[in-house]
Amino acid sequence: MWTMKAATIASAGILAGAAGFIIRDLQLFVVGLVFLSFLAINGFFRPRIKVDRPIPYFKVFEGDLVDLNAFVHNGGARSALIEVYDSVPTQMRIAAGSNHLLVHLPPGEETAMSYTVETPLRGHYVFGPVMLRRRDYSHLFFDEESIVERGYLSVYPRMEEIHTMPIRSRYMIPYFGTIGCRQAGMGSEFYYIREYIMGDAFKRINWKASVRHRKWLVNEYEKENLCDVMLFVDASVLNGRGSPVRNPLEFSVRAAVSISTTLLKGRNEVGLVTYNDEVKAIFPSIGERQIQTITSTLVGTYARGDLTLLTAVMVALPHLHPHCTVLVFSSLEGDPTLVQAVQLMKDRGYEVIFLSPALLEIEMGLVEEPMPRRAIIGSLERDNLIAELRANGAVVMDWDVHQPLYEVLDKGGVAG
């Protein structure tokens, strides 16, 4: 490609040559010819360059640092003035070094461009291509070339600490698991104290309570079984409001990954539905592979579109196990069908739990200004909606994202 300097010289050369030819002025014609010859001679000197930029990892976690190196080799017979640039996704920061190199490279020599990127945001990313710009020494011409094809890197969200699961289903799979089912039985969580009856194991006797009440009392534990859980993640465009790192979808994804991994490690069957401009459903299943599948899907979920929960439920209904627990991650913004969707699911016998990161709180944290009166209307609308959802039998955990996830889960929602 031509630089402005080359184009100026070319224009002047053509004009001078043409004018000289028309008015039969040999000197002017020769001046034009000299300009054009200068361009032609410079055009011959183009160096031959090779670049290699390996990506050391395929997967990293949010906040990790990735060191990258691009090796530039001049394989030509002449020195080269080159500019190398590695295209880094805009969702990453250059933490150290530079992904841009301007270097004079003698023939046969090699240099390295080293830099470190920070990956603060989950997602599947494409690095590259590495762009090379070669110049001649008069800075008349340059050509750009994509030297290294793309490299791929997935950034996984960091797992959040979880102490308790907010899931309390009345309909459990009759196998020993980790989810309390509101019945006394085999489990690890204390449920209540009752009087000793013949046949109770001595290790279940609550000695302190027995002494206090002067009769034999034993601890009863909550029965813990397996449970089928379907996660619904709202990835509509409003859930992407805020900043790229702090928005309802990011918090939802982090929570969904943590909860699904914990549930799957407890041998529960977990499925996933994401809805933005399309509905993606992963059938409920168990095991390590399901953890990978769900996590990978969540990593690649981006805020766009405006599909509603009702649409997602209608699409996913055939895949839902009977009486399973539905865990919805949504900011509850911009979806007029939430109540209707809850009614439908409750009618079908599903337990519905909402974990809702509050968009208003996120925005307040970003702008760091007092809340304007107008925003209070949004807050009132949200409170009313939560009350309505609870009135329809859903459990809603209103998540002020300044709190850690485990605190919200420990507190649980208020069932209607």
Partner 1 sequence: MLSSARERLRQHRLRAAALTVVGIIAIAGLVDFLTGVQQLSAYSDDWRDVSQFRGALEKAGYPTSSIVSTPLIVDSSEGVPPDGRVLVIMGVERPYLPNELDAIVRFVSEGGCLLLSDDFGYGNPLATRFSLGFSQRRLYSDSFDRNPSFPKLNASMAGNRYTLIADRPCALERVSDQEVDAWTSVDTWMDEDGDGERDYSEQSNPYPVVAHRGYHNGMVVICSDPGLFINDMWGRADNFNFFMDYLGRYFPQARRFIFDETRHKPDHLREGGWRTGMMLEVLTLNNIWGKATLAVLALLAVFSGALLVRPPAEWRHEDTLGEISLHHLSSARFKAEDRGRLRAALLEKVRISLSLHPDEFAAIEPERLREVIADGRLEPLVDKPNSVSLDDMDWLTDLVRDWRRR
- Decide: is 111 part of the binding site for partner 1 (CB under 8 A): no
Q: Quote the least distance from Cβ 364 to partner 1, whole Å.
A: 7
Specify the residue, 92 or 320, whose C-beta has the smaller distance to partner 1. Answer: 92
CB-based contact 345:326 (threshold 8 Å): yes
> Using CB under 8 A, which residues numbered 253 to 272 contact partner 1?
none
Which listed range, 51-59, 190-198, 310-318, 361-369, lies at the site for partner 1 (CB under 8 A)?
Answer: 361-369
Specify the residue, 85 or 329, whose C-beta has the smaller distance to partner 1. Answer: 85
Specify the residue, 316 or 394, whose C-beta has the smaller distance to partner 1. Answer: 394
Bridge partners (DSSP) listed for residue 127: 151
- Decide: is 88 part of the binding site for partner 1 (CB under 8 A): yes
- Decide: is 123 part of the binding site for partner 1 (CB under 8 A): no
- Decide: is 24 part of the binding site for partner 1 (CB under 8 A): no
Residue with tokens 């089912």: 181
User: Strand 217-226's sheet: what is its strand order?
Assistant: 173-184, 217-226, 190-195
Bridge partners (DSSP) listed for residue 292: none
- Decide: is 241 part of the binding site for partner 1 (CB under 8 A): yes
Rounded-to-integer distance, Cα 68 and Cα 125, Å:
15
Per-residue HEC secondary structure of 177-225 comes to EEEEEEEECCCCCEEEEEECCCCCCHHHECHHHHHHHCCCEEEEEEEEE
* Six-digit token string for 257: 């990954």
- Decide: is 378 part of the binding site for partner 1 (CB under 8 A): yes
Specify the residue, 127 or 264, whose C-beta has the smaller distance to partner 1. Answer: 127
The count of other CB atoms within 10 Å of the CB of residue 383 is: 11
Q: Binder to partner 1 among 20, 242, 271, 357 (CB under 8 A)?
A: 242
Which listed range, 6-14, 176-184, 343-351, 403-411, lies at the site for partner 1 (CB under 8 A)?
Answer: 6-14
Q: Rounded to 5 degrees, what are φ and ψ at 91?
A: -85, 10
CB-based contact 284:197 (threshold 8 Å): no
* Six-digit token string for 220: 């009863």
User: CA quadruple 391, 397, 401, 403: dihedral positive or negative?
Assistant: positive
Which listed range, 204-212, 219-227, 381-389, 395-403, lies at the site for partner 1 (CB under 8 A)?
Answer: 381-389
Q: Which residues bind partner 1 (CB under 8 A)?
A: 1-8, 10-12, 15, 19, 83, 85, 88, 90-94, 99-100, 120-121, 131, 133, 142, 144, 238, 240-245, 333, 359-360, 363-364, 366-367, 369, 372-381, 383-384, 387-388, 391
